[in-house]
Copies of this chain bind each other. A is one copy, B any other.
Amino acid sequence: MTKPESRKSGVAAMSSTSKCATSAPATAQVNDGAVEPGCPDHSAHIKANVMKQTSRESMNWRNCGVDCEVYDDGTNTFFWRAHTVTVLFILTCALVYVTLLEETPQDTAYNTKRGIVASILVFLCFGVTQAKDGPFTRPHPAYWRFWLCVSVVYELFLIFILFQTVHDGRQFMKYIDPKLGVPLPERDYGGNCLMYDPGNTTDPFHNIWDKIDGFVPAHFLGWYIKTLVIRDWWMCMIISVMFEFLEYSLEHQLPNFSECWWDHWIMDVLVCNGLGIYCGMKTLGWLSMKPYQWQGLWNIPTYKGKIKRIAFQFTPYSWVKFEWKPASNLRRWLAVLGIIFMFLLAELNTFYLKFVLWMPPEHYLVLLRLVFFVNVGGVAMREIYDFMDDPKFHRKLGQQAWLVAAITVTEFLIVVKYDPNTIMLPIPFFITQCWFLGILLIFTWTLWRFFFRDITLRYKETRRRKQESPSDRDRSLGNGNPSTPSGRSKLNGSSETVRQRKS
């Protein structure tokens, strides 16, 4: 028990105090040596060595996960400070100026708006300097603290909207942009699906050209980023295909889900998403191979090196390869199913939310929401991954993951509350059958994989044992734990394996 915990704590110290580099590696290294319970004298010897070679160089290398190492020379400049007191001072000056030296307008509505905006800004000031750091530190921890605070503000805004009547909620959007709060025009999504349209003599391929618009690079970019977030080829492909199935299933509710078959499968899944996922996987490969060496800008002699260092500031501090291993045990399998479910729900919310809140698709708020999700999604996914991998008793779901889950649920509740009629439109019988079949398949596989297969394997193991001679059996009893069949631990990747991966 001591071993993985202490190692874990070393890793935790490393990631949390990554700004304070000179002290952390010493702790981590000493931990790694100290908690080897089998050989105390040997580990003491190791530590004595560690202490003798306390050169900066050797202490700055850290082991940061499965197969990566980070070198950090521990440069901590002005740039990295939290500037808590400075921010407080500037905030005070700004407040003095705005509230005492400027004259307050007599317009109550304007003042209310201004008061709310000021409250949000003060909250951001507090959060950006003081909120809890997440797993990411590049380009700057304050960047991720900022997005965390934005998540909080967005979630509170959603809660407020959720508690209004449908009419008030839609009209409330007028406070943000006076152009909002008007019903969306009906759009015609009809037309034929011929790739080669003989009826149109001037350009028979016009259907294809029509589809190649701004959404093609958007789809590509979106899936490139989603791949960086999920970091797994299979999960990306499943979500990409599943979403097209959802579009098929829900086109009776949202007309803009109805597309031509080749738009679904060729344009979306193969070309846009596929290319995005491919480029994402290439980038992931580069990120997992890239050396993680951080030197202070002033310690780099050449200008080229300095520029490269500045550019690398926008790459991760270290790299964790995600290995979701959905089939390793029931908990992970259910967790991966849950992640896919939430991911698809968040994607659907994009379309349903703008539909129920009367947001035109080209409105900047729709784009801002996507930019927001790009920034928080990566943190949330990493936190969920850490949560699943964490053998600690006290593991906490990360703050950003918690918020993203709450936001997704709240958005969905808004959709249900604001337009129950659309949501409740009966699903065509054929589609219901398909979904029922799919869910049944998953359920059956789950049952077989995590319940029946184990029983079968255990039964086979018992029979094999019985056939062995009693002397053999005694030997196998002496070697390992006889109650766990070797087949199971090998196939499932037991929790022991998961723990060892962390060290």
Residues of A within 8 A of B (CB): 1-2, 5-6, 8-10, 12-13, 16-17, 19-20, 22-24, 26-27, 30-31, 34-35, 37, 40-41, 43-45, 47-48, 51-52, 54, 76, 80-82, 84-85, 88, 91-92, 95-96, 98-100, 104-106, 108, 111-112, 114-116, 118-119, 122-123, 126, 129-132, 152, 155-157, 159-165, 168, 392-394, 396-397, 399, 402-403, 405-406, 409-410, 413, 416-417
Known: A162-B99, A394-B20. A26 touches B13 (CB 8 A): no
Closest residue to A168 on the B side, CB-wise?
A: B108
Closest residue to A409 on the B side, CB-wise?
A: B92
Cβ–Cβ contact A160 & B116, under 8 A? yes
Closest residue to A121 on the B side, CB-wise?
A: B159
CA distance in complex: A16, B13 (Å)? 10
CA distance in complex: A1, B54 (Å)? 12
Q: Pick the contact of A132 from B24, B41, B52, B132 — CB < 8 Å?
A: B132
Contacts of A402 in B (CB 8 A): 84, 88, 126, 129-130
Q: Smallest CB–CB gap between A2 and chain B, Å? A: 7
Q: Smallest CB–CB gap between A153 and chain B, Å? A: 10
Contacts of A405 in B (CB 8 A): 88
Contacts of A45 in B (CB 8 A): 44
Contacts of A76 in B (CB 8 A): 393-394
Cβ–Cβ contact B48 & A413, under 8 A? no
Q: Smallest CB–CB gap between A53 and chain B, Å? A: 10
CA distance in complex: A51, B118 (Å)? 55
Cβ–Cβ contact A84 & B23, under 8 A? no
Q: Pick the contact of A23 from B8, B52, B403, B416 — CB < 8 Å?
A: B8
Contacts of A47 in B (CB 8 A): 34, 44, 47
Q: Pick the contact of A9 from B27, B40, B96, B396 — CB < 8 Å?
A: B27
Q: Smallest CB–CB gap between A164 and chain B, Å? A: 5
Cβ–Cβ contact B119 & A160, under 8 A? yes
- Quick one: copies of this chain in the complex? 2
CA distance in complex: A406, B1 (Å)? 44
Known: A118-B160, A122-B406. 20 other contacts (CB 8 A): A2-B22, A20-B394, A27-B31, A30-B31, A34-B47, A40-B48, A40-B52, A80-B394, A81-B393, A95-B159, A99-B163, A111-B165, A115-B162, A119-B160, A122-B155, A126-B152, A126-B402, A129-B396, A130-B132, A131-B132
Contacts of A20 in B (CB 8 A): 5, 9, 392, 394
A-B contact pairs, 24 of them (CB 8 A): A2-B26, A6-B26, A12-B17, A13-B13, A19-B394, A27-B27, A34-B47, A34-B51, A40-B51, A44-B44, A76-B393, A81-B394, A84-B396, A92-B409, A95-B410, A100-B413, A104-B163, A111-B163, A111-B165, A115-B160, A122-B159, A129-B402, A130-B132, A130-B399
Closest residue to A4 on the B side, CB-wise?
A: B23
Cβ–Cβ contact A112 & B164, under 8 A? yes
CA distance in complex: A115, B162 (Å)? 8
Cβ–Cβ contact B40 & A99, under 8 A? no
Interface centre among A13, A131, A132 (most CB of B within 10 A): A13
CA distance in complex: A82, B122 (Å)? 27
Contacts of A413 in B (CB 8 A): 95-96, 99-100
Cβ–Cβ contact A44 & B51, under 8 A? yes
CA distance in complex: A7, B442 (Å)? 53
Cβ–Cβ contact B397 & A88, under 8 A? yes
Interface centre among A40, A54, A100 (most CB of B within 10 A): A40
Known: A9-B17, A22-B1, A165-B104. A118 touches B27 (CB 8 A): no
CA distance in complex: A116, B164 (Å)? 10
Cβ–Cβ contact B122 & A397, under 8 A? no
Cβ–Cβ contact B122 & A156, under 8 A? yes
Cβ–Cβ contact B163 & A118, under 8 A? yes
Contacts of A410 in B (CB 8 A): 95
Contacts of A164 in B (CB 8 A): 104, 108, 111-112, 115
Contacts of A51 in B (CB 8 A): 34, 37, 40, 43-44
Contacts of A23 in B (CB 8 A): 2, 5-6, 8-9
The 7 closest A-B pairs by CB, nearest first: A44-B48, A115-B163, A132-B132, A115-B160, A40-B51, A130-B399, A84-B397
Closest residue to A29 on the B side, CB-wise?
A: B34
Q: Pick the contact of A156 from B24, B95, B119 — CB < 8 Å?
A: B119
Cβ–Cβ contact A126 & B403, under 8 A? yes
Known: A9-B17, A394-B82. A100 touches B416 (CB 8 A): yes
Cβ–Cβ contact A30 & B40, under 8 A? no
CA distance in complex: A96, B17 (Å)? 39
Q: Smallest CB–CB gap between A331 and chain B, Å? A: 12
